[in-house]
Amino acid sequence: MKMESVPFPEEVLERKVCIVGSELVENYTVYIIEVTDGDHRWTVKHRYSDFHDLHEKLTTEKNIDRGLLPPKKILGKNSKSLVEQLQKELELYLQTLLLQFPQATPTPLACFLHFHLYVRSSVRLCVCLCAVGEQLLQAGEVFSLRPLQLYSVSQQLRLAKPTCCNGDAKTDLGHILDFICRLRYLKISGTRGPVGTSNIQESSLPFDLSVFKSLLQIEISDCSSQQIQGLSSLRSTLATMCIHRSTETMMSILVPEASEFSQWEPEGAESGCPVTAFIPVWRNLTTLDMSHNCISTIDSSVKLIRKVEFLDLSYNQLSSVENLQHLYNLVHVDLSYNSLRVLEAAHTRLGNIKTLSLAGNQLDRLTGLTKLYSLVNLDLSHNQLAQLEEIKNISSLPCLEKLNLSSNPMCIIPDYRTKVLALFGDRAAEVCLDGKVTTEKELDTVEVLKAIQKAKEAKDKMSSSNKKISEETRLSAAAPPHFSSSSPPSSSACCSSAVAPLALTSSSSCPAQQAAGPSQGNHVCIRL
């Protein structure tokens, strides 16, 4: 005895179908069908021949009454009254079919009413993976899924029913379970707005990622962090994670369970403060791309991703750079197109990075970049840098090879390129500025500028030295005579210096000295 085909085991939901109108396309009529399944609603369009094909399949597979389908009118088939009458009869036909199969929807009817596109997409996925699943796994390619499909799979797995209850191996949910447990590369792309003709908002459909046991790479875009469940279960396997247009905080992705604990620390960390939970780290995550989100702060959740080497936070809303000192292995950092105005002491947060992109910010000073000694590639394009003097802050970086300053105010300065390259001194030939290799002509000009600069510095040094000598001479001339502090000058001494070259005699030959006696001390006698 042939087993009946019941490809859609499901919970009993309120299902309705009605034909809400029709439209004339070329020389035939298309009927607009509104389908309701629980809270979900969508529209489908079919002409009469589609109804006929459906009926043929159902009579063959389900042995339904051949006379159930209303006949097509030949004469005046497009007249308004006949179309409205046939519309009511076709609506009754569809309603009868749904009543005849209250627990499960036959495959032909499910496809006719687009259940496989909106609420039973897991069955369509089963059929696909049954055919090419093993081939996709062997090729190691990225497999794309929609949130709607993942939601459907999650809902099916919650049902207390076998993965296959209809005898059709192609629709066995086991195909999906086997595939996703072995899948290594996954891409999930949501949508903004309703799906197709339905009222279904994919961004509101939760889906569970805990069933993926072998993922190495995941990319999620146009979803909501609230609908992503089970992401933390991937901490032991994931090496690359990309999240776009899906979150406002890093915490909601890296530590989704943080809201449950008042104080947490990464596992293995030592803390002097009371801790309510130790959170497992992302053991193998080396690449994190959270560009194109609405992140305003680099929060403490980065403590859990200490093995990350490539970090992309471009196109967010960052106004400061914090907590990156916890990422000891950082090599490439992209902070472009944020709201950064200043970056002080960058080496204390960015360590020994080799590539740094700060393009598209509002930087007008580079004082914070002077100690990034391992930096090889620096992108400062589309900022507010106007003064060539700022380049001196990075001109001594020993490893810098690529520098992009395009679309800054300083670019309109005459001979901008050669003036910038001249600031790098003997390393000018090693620097690729704005994506262009330095030419021999530019290097010759740089040498001339360097010679002029050296001459100017020598002249300034000589001028400064002469000025110093002149100042010392002026100060020396203006200074009072120097006398010993133990022998203050007497009035007679002052007189002697004023009347030279008068003859002087010693005190012993002066009668006045002899009459005064030895107690008067030494005196100078002036003989007139």
Strand partners, 242: 219, 289
CA distance 329 to 424: 29
Q: Please answer whether residues 298 and 313 qualify as being in contact, where contact means their C-beta atoms are separated by less than 8 angstroms.
A: yes
CA distance 464 to 155: 83
Q: Please answer whether residues 35 and 198 qualify as being in contact, where contact means their C-beta atoms are separated by less than 8 angstroms.
A: no
Q: State the CB neighbour count (10 A cutoff) for residue 518.
A: 9
**Which two structure tokens, joined as six digits, stand for 413?**
């300065």
**Which two structure tokens, joined as six digits, stand for 123?**
């069955």
Q: Please answer whether residues 336 and 315 qualify as being in contact, where contact means their C-beta atoms are separated by less than 8 angstroms.
A: yes
Predicted local distance difference test score (pLDDT) of residue 271: 66
Closest C-alpha among 351, 405, 342 to residue 373 = 351
CA distance 234 to 214: 8
Tens of pLDDT along the chain (528 residues)? 333 333 334 444 578 999 999 998 888 889 999 999 888 899 999 999 999 999 999 999 888 888 899 988 765 666 788 888 999 999 999 999 999 887 778 888 988 999 888 877 666 676 667 667 788 888 888 999 999 888 888 887 776 555 555 555 566 677 788 888 999 999 999 988 898 899 988 888 899 999 999 999 999 999 999 999 999 999 999 999 999 999 999 999 999 988 888 788 888 777 666 777 889 999 999 999 999 999 999 999 999 999 999 999 999 999 999 999 999 999 999 999 999 998 888 888 888 899 999 999 999 999 999 999 999 999 999 999 999 999 999 999 999 999 999 999 999 999 899 999 999 988 889 999 999 988 888 888 888 877 777 777 677 777 777 677 776 777 777 666 654 444 444 444 433 333 343 333 333 444 434 433 444 444 434 333
**Spans of all domains in the chain:** 15-113, 340-462
Predicted local distance difference test score (pLDDT) of residue 495: 35
DSSP three-state, residue 188: strand
Closest C-alpha among 239, 136, 116, 246 to residue 188 = 246
Stated pTM of the model: 0.77
DSSP three-state, residue 35: strand
Predicted local distance difference test score (pLDDT) of residue 522: 45
- Residue 14 makes CB contacts below 8 A (sequence gap 6+) with 36, 37, 38
Closest C-alpha among 391, 424, 426, 425 to residue 405 = 391
CA distance 201 to 305: 32
Closest C-alpha among 343, 346, 401, 400 to residue 371 = 346
Q: How far apart are the first and last CA of the chain?
A: 160
DSSP three-state, residue 92: helix
For CA atoms 304, 306, 311, 314, the dihedral sign is positive
**Which two structure tokens, joined as six digits, stand for 27?**
């020389």
Distance of alpha carbon 197 from the chain centroid = 33
Q: State the CB neighbour count (10 A cutoff) for residue 389.
A: 11
Q: Please answer whether residues 43 and 97 qualify as being in contact, where contact means their C-beta atoms are separated by less than 8 angstroms.
A: no
Tokens 């010693």, residue located: 506
Tokens 């750079």, residue located: 321
Q: Please answer whether residues 364 and 383 qualify as being in contact, where contact means their C-beta atoms are separated by less than 8 angstroms.
A: yes
Length of the chain in residues, anyone? Answer: 528
Question: Degrees (nearest 5) of the Cα angle 452, 453, 455?
Answer: 65
Strand partners, 46: 31
The angle that helices 174-182 and 147-158 make with each other, rounded to 10 degrees, is 120
Report in angstroms the alpha-carbon separations of 460 from 178, 243, 426: 79, 56, 22
Please tell me the CATH code under which domain 15-113 is placed: 3.30.1520.10
Homologous superfamily of domain range 340-462: Ribonuclease Inhibitor (3.80.10.10)
Tokens 């799979």, residue located: 153
**Which two structure tokens, joined as six digits, stand for 56?**
């043929």
DSSP three-state, residue 321: coil
Predicted local distance difference test score (pLDDT) of residue 126: 65
Rounded-to-10 torsion of CA 362, 345, 310, 261: -100
What residue ranges in 80-227 does DSSP mark as E strands?
143-145, 185-189, 207-208, 217-221
Give the DSSP per-residue string, 232-288.
GGGTTT-SEEEEESS-S-SHHHH-GGGGG-SSEEETT---SS--SEEEPP-SS--EE
Report in angstroms the alpha-carbon separations of 319 from 122, 297, 314, 327, 363: 43, 8, 12, 19, 11
Tokens 């994190």, residue located: 288
DSSP three-state, residue 96: helix
